[in-house]
Amino acid sequence: MESPRMATGNRTGPSTPSTPSTPSATPGAPARRPGGRTARTRALVLDAVRAQLVEHGYDGLTVDAVADRAGVHRTTVYRRWQDVGGLLADLLTLGADDDWQPADTGTLLGDLAALNHEVHASLTEQPSIAAALIAVSFRSPQAAEALRDFWEGRYAQCETVVDRAVVRGELPPGADARALLVAATAPLYHHLVLLRSAPDPELPDRAARTAVLAASAGAFTG
Amino acid sequence: MESPRMATGNRTGPSTPSTPSTPSATPGAPARRPGGRTARTRALVLDAVRAQLVEHGYDGLTVDAVADRAGVHRTTVYRRWQDVGGLLADLLTLGADDDWQPADTGTLLGDLAALNHEVHASLTEQPSIAAALIAVSFRSPQAAEALRDFWEGRYAQCETVVDRAVVRGELPPGADARALLVAATAPLYHHLVLLRSAPDPELPDRAARTAVLAASAGAFTG
DNA sequence: CCGTTAGTGCGACAACAGTTGCGTTAGGAT
DNA sequence: ATCCTAACGCAACTGTTGTCGCACTAACGG
């Protein structure tokens, strides 16, 4: 997971509740207005979320503080994002919809190590948006779902890493790509998020190596 | 991790701030009073925490609700435990100091699988004290530290599993026991806590098998 | 048994989270 | 250019979280 990047575009935001792709085709639902002011507000607020997170950390990330910093009224934030979890969830979806691709280093070990280094970096940066999102996902269903979707997407995209390894003959066909990817990355999350160990710069490489050895031993094939 | 058991003893509780083992030898510090009423209050409150957690889940676990149920005033709870995290941390320390031992099944795979089944059970029981503690550990430093200490103790105790495997000749000597144990258990936590996947009854065995295969391939012998 | 005071009960208080009703502004369609 | 109304600003409100000062009760030492 890398840090979500800001794209100050004209996107609608999460307040648009499951709108079909053809907005004008739904007569019962009220017409959305994703234009000028709405988009501007969203950009201001999400900018404020990131700035507030950087300056005051996760504990200083309250709805009131974000609204003040964005120059927007409290109720506006509450109406569109509900709570802090909604804000971070929106920030995540904003950064997740870009066309991220796993690195292609030529070997399974290299690919997994590169992936792990990305995860490691996103979890150890100060402050870590990823860590804040994980923390808030235990309070906010919105954040939990956004994080779930984000990881689902990322793991799906990373399956190409395993596919490439199969094509190269590094792995036998029929390997459980998802299980392999989880085995490679889980120790990182376990140490940094749950055990809260001190960051170990060699951990990404070691975890990747362990997963590759297990895969070579046939751990993920039937 | 299994559910902490209640021992309605006369222990002091976490409010005793790092008291040396000889309380009477510290003239500057005020004399503690761990006796009758204090112990009774702690038992009442911790009982209420567990009951409240069982009946209303983690979301219903507020300081006020616990105090009401325990028949104790709010301020008493705030003063001795600070917050919900302190309450759960105390509950954990109460259950963690028993002489837990990892199962001895005769094989490394069996031992790791048994361990994983314990972890799986503690995380999927409804409601899960373990899951509640993990969730609250992101809000409360006390809970975070208690959880950290708990896991540190458990992983230390589990190193005997690896030692036994070395003695049996299943593993070469010099294996990194901690890394092996983390590799075996991390996928469980990753799926159940972070990814929030649906519980997979085969996951404990598969994760244990993966770790053993990696270990046999020399993944943890640096 | 008595004196000291740690621990508790009690009420008042501030700060924060979150909601509601209503008036105002500005997007978008005609 | 005009109308409709989504989105916003504003203020007042409720409920919860956490703190503080003071009085009181009971644990522990003598």
CATH number at residue B72: 1.10.10.60
d(CA A106, CA A112): 11
Query: Which amino acid, one-letter code, is at B186?
Result: A
Residue B61 lies in a domain: yes
User: A58-106: per-residue pLDDT in tens?
Assistant: 888 899 999 999 999 999 999 999 999 999 999 988 877 678 999 999 9
List, in order, residues 6 or more apart from B108 with CB less than 8 Å away: B161, B162, B164, B165, B168, B170, B171, B212, B215
Point out which residues pair with A175 in neighbouring strands: A221
d(CA B68, CA B218): 56
Residue B92 lies in a domain: no
Q: What is the pLDDT of residue B24?
A: 41
User: B177-206: per-residue pLDDT in tens?
Assistant: 999 999 999 999 999 999 999 999 999 999
Residues A133 and A206 reside in one and the same domain: yes
Rg of chain A over Cα atoms, rounded to whole angstroms, equals: 20
User: A160-202: per-residue pLDDT in tens?
Assistant: 999 999 999 999 999 999 999 999 999 999 999 999 999 999 9
CATH number at residue B184: 1.10.357.10
End-to-end Cα spacing for chain A: 29
Residue A192 lies in a domain: yes
Range of the domain at A50: 32-81
- Min mean pLDDT across B14-18, B124-128, B140-144 is at B14-18
Residues B174 and B116 reside in one and the same domain: yes
Cβ–Cβ below 8 Å for A219 and B214: yes
Last residue within a domain, chosen from A81, A100, A119: A81
Residue A143 in contact with residue A89, Cβ under 8 Å? Answer: yes
Residues of B within an 8 Å Cβ radius of A = 134-135, 138-139, 144, 147-148, 151, 179, 182-183, 185-187, 189-191, 193-196, 206-207, 209-211, 213-214, 216-220
Residue A43 lies in a domain: yes
List, in order, residues 6 or more apart from B168 with CB less than 8 Å away: B107, B108
Confidence check: pLDDT of B217 > 70: yes
Residues B181 and B113 reside in one and the same domain: yes
The total of structural domains in chain B comes to 2
Residues A71 and A132 reside in one and the same domain: no
Residues B117 and B68 reside in one and the same domain: no
Nucleotides of chain D touched by protein CB (<7 A): 5-11, 16-21, 26-29
The distance of A169 to chain B (nearest Cα, Å) reads 19
Point out which residues pair with A221 in neighbouring strands: A175
Residue A100 lies in a domain: no
Residue B128 in contact with residue B136, Cβ under 8 Å? Answer: no
Tokens of B107: 């094989």
pLDDT band at B5 (very low <50, low <70, confident <90, very high): very low
In terms of pLDDT, which residue wins out, B8 or A183?
A: A183
Q: What is the mean pLDDT of residues A116-134?
A: 92
User: B14-68: per-residue pLDDT in tens?
Assistant: 544 333 333 344 555 666 767 778 999 999 999 999 999 888 888 889 999 999 9
Residues B207 and B112 reside in one and the same domain: yes
Residues of A in contact with B138 (CB under 8 A): 134-135, 138
Residues B123 and B75 reside in one and the same domain: no
Q: What is the pLDDT of residue B7?
A: 35
Residue A20 lies in a domain: no
Q: What is the pLDDT of residue A33?
A: 60
Q: What is the pLDDT of residue B36?
A: 79
Residues A68 and A134 reside in one and the same domain: no
Q: What is the pLDDT of residue B31?
A: 66
Query: Which amino acid, one-letter code, is at A221?
Result: T
What is the residue-averaged pLDDT of chain B? 86
Q: Which of B88, B99, B100, B98 has the alpha carbon at shortest distance from B14?
A: B88
Residue A115 lies in a domain: yes
List, in order, residues 6 or more apart from B183 with CB less than 8 Å away: A183, A187, A207, A210, B210, B211, B214, B219, B220
Q: What is the mean pLDDT of residues B65-82?
A: 95
Q: What is the pLDDT of residue A198?
A: 95
pLDDT band at A1 (very low <50, low <70, confident <90, very high): very low
Q: What is the pLDDT of residue B19?
A: 33
**Between the CA of B78 and the C1' of C8, what is the distance in angstroms?**
12
Q: Render the burial of B152-176: b for 16+ CB within 10 Å, e for the rest.
A: eebeeebeebbebbeeeebbeeebb
Residues B115 and B196 reside in one and the same domain: yes
Residues B114 and B211 reside in one and the same domain: yes
Q: Percentage of chain B surpassing pLDDT 90?
A: 71
Q: Which of A219, A202, A209 has the alpha carbon at shortest distance from B211?
A: A219
What is the residue-averaged pLDDT of chain A? 85
Residues A43 and A136 reside in one and the same domain: no
Q: What is the mean pLDDT of residues B128-154?
A: 91
Residues A59 and A134 reside in one and the same domain: no
Residue A39 lies in a domain: yes
State the DSSP string of A40-81: HHHHHHHHHHHHHHHHHTTTT--HHHHHHHHT--HHHHHHHH
Q: What is the pLDDT of residue B214?
A: 97
Q: What is the mean pLDDT of residues A27-32?
A: 58
